[in-house]
Structure 1
């Protein structure tokens, strides 16, 4: 699927701290739980814009 993950795993899935790079050039650096961004992290979009904060079930949670 073109995704690249470097970091900690549990039961074969991203879990803990890691970096996920997507095929479109976006990336997420932070905490993962059960294969999804979950916890504190930074999502950087292909155009360089970024969002830092809390993620839950793979989605940014505005505060």
Structure 2
């Protein structure tokens, strides 16, 4: 159940960041970008970590780590 909460938090972070991501030449410094340099990556990392907690399968850790990094 804890892993599900981590996934939900990751989805919320990514959703929040998508609302502020603007395709311009300027650096976005408002919203989550004021606190974290890459909130989309942080959200993805939280989602992956939550899935690892939920699945609890050692091979999944290896496969997802190779896919992400």
Shorter-chain TM band:
under 0.3
- Give the number of the structure with larger relative contact order, counting CA–CA contacts within 8 Å between residues 6 or more apart: 2
Identify the structure with the greater helix proportion: 2
Identify the structure with the greater strand proportion: 1
Larger Rg: 2
